[in-house]
Amino acid sequence: MKIALDAMGGDFGPDPLISGADLAYRTFGTHPVLVGDRKILEERIRALSLKAPFEIVDSKDVIAMTEKASDVRRRRGSTVWMATELVKRKEVDGVVSAGHSGASLASAMWVLGRLDGVERPAIGTILPSLTGHFILVDGGANVDCKPSHLVSFAHMGRVLARHLFSKKDPRVFVLSNGEEETKGNELVQRTIESLRESRVPWFSGPIESRDIFSGEADVVVCDGFVGNVVLKEAEGLAQTIIGMMREAAGESLRSRIGGLLLRPSLSRMKKRLDYAEYGGAPLLGVNGLFVISHGRSNSLAISNAMGMADRLAKSGLTGTIAQDIAKIPTGGSLP
């Protein structure tokens, strides 16, 4: 598949981005289309001795992290806008960007548009659990939500879990402050009520935040404000735990010996907690495939993001979401 890459976005310049695109070609067979300053990209490709058959779409305008997301609408020559235009014109099968996340969302909304029946697109973020992975949706696209938004998030998250995890019947929960369906704020209670009324067999009820990493859930639904807080807390906690374990392993000779024995296990754990292993998060509900990556993405993260985009494009994620959303009548419940 051809995947466009906003090759000038991200916190560390083009080197990790184009190196990641090269790695994606060697690992997944993904054909990279780089969008950025042609002169700079060609120079860096030569300097890094990269061998992938890059296509380059020239764009010298980059939306900086400090600029407003709305600026992208009047800067249609910017890298993220032009990369999204390639998807719209079906010249590529998807796009990956580690640049300004707000500009990425705005470009996807304005260029690709929403699928019919989708009120708010949402970010489907992949997180580790004790038994594998689960999807948190919304990961930060929508701060203020209505129950109908969360109902569509549940449907879209379920479709993503089927495509990404190859699970026939993903288990979907709504994030709440208790296991009882009487708990939660009005948004949570009305969302649960709507999903219950729809009689969808895959809805499993509310789940507390302490249980979302247990492996019980395949999809956890919440508004984007709560979702982003969960993501930042999980990232910070993982870094803290790893740091505390390193500190404990060096406290004494016995601890150092134990640390050496545990090093392979700790390395595997660190790998599971590393966002680079997941690459990025697809934006669900827009009429095209757009994967948003972390601004601090290294080459491995970009490679995995492009590999994810490749896989989801092949599986027809966007079309399946459109079919599933079309089954939801106005009001948020299935017949």
Question: Which domain does 52 fall in, by range?
Answer: 1-118+285-329
Give me the numbers of helices (H) and strands (E) for the chain, helices first please.
10, 12
The reply to whether 289 falls in a domain is yes
Tell me the pLDDT of the chain averaged across its residues: 90
User: What's the CA gap between 34 and 44, in Å, rounded?
Assistant: 12
* Higher pLDDT among residues 235 and 321, named by residue: 321
Percent of the chain having pLDDT more than 90? 70
Please report the pLDDT score of residue 245 as a whole number.
73
The reply to whether 181 falls in a domain is no
Place of tokens 């929508």: 142
Please report the pLDDT score of residue 22 as a whole number.
97
Pairing of the two strands 31-36 and 2-6: parallel
Place of tokens 């990556």: 293
Please report the pLDDT score of residue 334 as a whole number.
39
Q: CATH number of the domain that 77 lies in? A: 3.40.718.10
pLDDT at 335 over 90: no
The reply to whether 155 falls in a domain is no
* Higher pLDDT among residues 17 and 270, named by residue: 17
User: What's the CA gap between 53 and 124, in Å, rounded?
Assistant: 30
pLDDT tier for residue 332 given thresholds of 50, 70 and 90: very low
> Across residues 91-113, what is the average pLDDT?
94
User: What's the CA gap between 133 and 275, in Å, rounded?
Assistant: 12
Question: Which one, of 233, 226, 235, 7, lies nearest residue 123 by Cα?
Answer: 226
> Across residues 5-12, what is the average pLDDT?
91
The reply to whether 124 falls in a domain is no
- Over the stretch 15-66, which tens digit does the pLDDT of each residue have? 999 999 999 999 999 999 999 999 999 999 999 999 999 999 999 999 988 8
User: What's the CA gap between 195 and 155, in Å, rounded?
Assistant: 10
The reply to whether 98 falls in a domain is yes
pLDDT tier for residue 246 given thresholds of 50, 70 and 90: confident
Other beta carbons less than 10 A from residue 53's beta carbon: 8
The reply to whether 220 falls in a domain is no
The reply to whether 252 falls in a domain is no
pLDDT tier for residue 333 given thresholds of 50, 70 and 90: very low
Place of tokens 């594998």: 132
- Over the stretch 271-282, which tens digit does the pLDDT of each residue have? 666 666 778 999
Q: In the chain, which ranges are E strands?
A: 2-6, 31-36, 55-58, 94-97, 122-123, 125-129, 132-137, 172-176, 203-208, 219-221, 280-284, 290-293
Model confidence, pTM: 0.89
DSSP state of 143: S
The reply to whether 203 falls in a domain is no
* Higher pLDDT among residues 181 and 217, named by residue: 217
Please report the pLDDT score of residue 255 as a whole number.
72
- Over the stretch 122-169, which tens digit does the pLDDT of each residue have? 999 999 998 889 999 999 999 999 999 999 999 999 999 999 998 889
Burial (0-12, 13-18, 19+ Cβ within 10 Å), 129 = middle
How many domains does one find in the chain?
1
User: What's the CA gap between 110 and 331, in Å, rounded?
Assistant: 25
Question: Which one, of 303, 150, 323, 292, lies nearest residue 221 by Cα?
Answer: 150
**What stretches of 250-298 show up as alpha helix (H) in DSSP?**
253-273
Place of tokens 């392979």: 264
